[in-house]
Amino acid sequence: MLSQPSTVLYVEDNEGNRMLVRRVLEAEGYSVLEAGNATEGFELAQEKRPDLILIDINLPETDGLTLTSRLKATPSFMSTPIIAITANVMRGDRERSLAAGCDGYIQKPIDVDFLPLQIAQYLQPDSHTGS
């Protein structure tokens, strides 16, 4: 359990995934914010300044990589860890995610046993290796 709750913003259009991630992360002591599309996600990020942002690549209208680029181009989010989440197993997704500025990459289906560890690693200041 974290002594001071970290806030995670999850931008995802699939409600089932949002509920799953919220349940898992809240059980670990995180505060979880949800947005269903990129516009909401950008606004919520600006308003709440989360410690870490999870972004589904496949969002309606503006996709998750475009949102990532927008966030990383905004000074207040340059150092905020952003992790891409995708169901696509096509080669090149990891590279495209990193090129868009994502600090990491998680593939669906989300491994709920592993997710908290992944999040915790990205919240450590020295762990932004992009792997």
In whole angstroms, the minimum distance from the beta carbon of 44 to Mn ion comes to 17
- Report the alpha-carbon angle 93-99-100, nearest 5: 90
- Cβ-proximal residues to 5 (8 Å cutoff; 6+ apart), any chain: 29, 30, 31
User: Cα(101)–Cα(81) distance, rounded to whole angstroms?
Assistant: 9
Residue closer to Mn ion by CB (options 28, 63) is 63
Minimum Å gap between C-beta 76 and Mn ion is 25
CB nearer Mn ion, residue 6 or residue 58: 58
In the complex, minimum distance from the CB of residue 38 to Mn ion, in angstroms, rounded to a whole number: 11
Nearer to Mn ion, 13 or 40 (CB): 13
